[in-house]
Amino acid sequence: MSKVLVTGADGFIGSHLTEALVRAGKDVRAFVLYNSFNSYGWLDNCAPDIKGHFEVFAGDIRDPHGVRTAMQGCDAVLHLAALIAIPYSYHSPDTYVDTNIKGTLNVIQAARELETAKVVHTSTSEVYGTARFVPITEDHPLQGQSPYSASKIGADQIAMSFYLSFGTPVAVVRPFNTYGPRQSARAVIPTIITQIANGKRSIALGATSPTRDFNYVGDTVAGFIAALNSEQAIGETINLASNFEISIGDIASAIAELMGAKINIVTEEQRLRPEKSEVERLWGSNDKAAALLGWQPKYGGLDGLHRGLGETIAWFANDANLSRYKSDLYNI
């Protein structure tokens, strides 16, 4: 797997993954979303030892011809490109079908035609919906409680159908709630940190009772690389979870304590999901990842969460990073 294509390389997880692959000695082609600013997203700000050591392909995952061109000469594809914001999926569900389902079809169809040796497709814990049992294993029922989660269920099924129908070597990696430096403010942890860092003490949030299984981005990236390197991952769907849950309210309290701030939480109506769309509980099992990939989170449990939050807060505390975020606006 010497030549690797990363789709969504300009994004939060994708940029960290690109850096890790380059450091691991891989020949990396980074697929970024074409734009007139010639921006490579977070890769414009990658670590100095990484800059200039990867190839960039600017295109659109919705374009099958561009996707196929990007994949030519690559041994493996790590497919992360997707629309991921849940609130925006209420607003524009059609774009989620085009990007997440059709985009995945474009990748997997090209992989079949080009005889690509491995495709690692990115799922999400949101496909499980509110937990019916915990910890959630890969056998948990799938529940499309938002247009976003429904589109990811469709994308997962498209990817796996090519393995079952044509033997295309596909592995589905299902990360739970990843956080860390560079994450968008559409996610709850950056939302809390940026508001506190900008001096606010009345913190605007949505529902605070739901629980999530948070994973530091370094652990998620390690899981992707383990799936890339494991033959046992082919034909499998594998959770990347910390096997630990915490409520949104408690995560806000933990962040405030680490930042030395006393806060009160204000619930804003616009930040609440529709009642039946809210995922009330996520707590994932990582037993399968341990068995097939030899993967265990280094930032697991409450202690690991605090260490990961500390590193994330330190990144956001840098004025150059914080200035990129509009903490006074609700980012859907």
**Contact criterion met (CB below 8 Å) for 197 and 316:** yes
Residue 288 lies in a domain: no
- Whether 231 and 312 map to the same domain: the answer is no
3-class state of residue 318 by DSSP: coil
- Kindly indicate the confidence band of residue 84, based on its pLDDT and cuts at 50, 70 and 90: very high
Find the CATH number of the domain harbouring 73: 3.40.50.720
> pTM of the predicted model, to two decimals?
0.98
Where in the sequence is the domain holding 166, given as residue range(s)? 3-178+215-240
Q: Check pLDDT > 90 for residue 2.
A: no
Q: Check pLDDT > 90 for residue 312.
A: yes
The average confidence (pLDDT) of the chain is 97
Backbone angles phi, psi at 177, to 5 degrees: -70, 95
- Whether 146 and 227 map to the same domain: the answer is yes
Q: What are the percentages of helix, strand and coil residues in the chain, rounded to 5? A: 45, 15, 40
Query: Quick one: tokens of 89?
Result: 């999926």
Q: Check pLDDT > 80 for residue 12.
A: yes
- Kindly indicate the confidence band of residue 1, based on its pLDDT and cuts at 50, 70 and 90: low
The H or E element that residue 289 is part of is: helix 287-293
Mean pLDDT of 209-221: 98
**Contact criterion met (CB below 8 Å) for 127 and 149:** yes
By CB atoms closer than 10 A (0-12, 13-18, 19+), residue 52 is: exposed
Find the CATH number of the domain harbouring 193: 3.90.25.10
pLDDT of 284 reads 98
pLDDT of 126 reads 98
CB atoms within 10 A of CB 305: 21
Number of domains in the chain: 2
% of the chain surpassing 70 pLDDT: 100
The H or E element that residue 98 is part of is: none
Residue 263 lies in a domain: yes
- Whether 123 and 259 map to the same domain: the answer is no
- Whether 256 and 164 map to the same domain: the answer is no
DSSP output for 22-67: HHTT-EEEEEEE--TT---GGGGG--TTTTTSSEEEEE-TT-HHHH
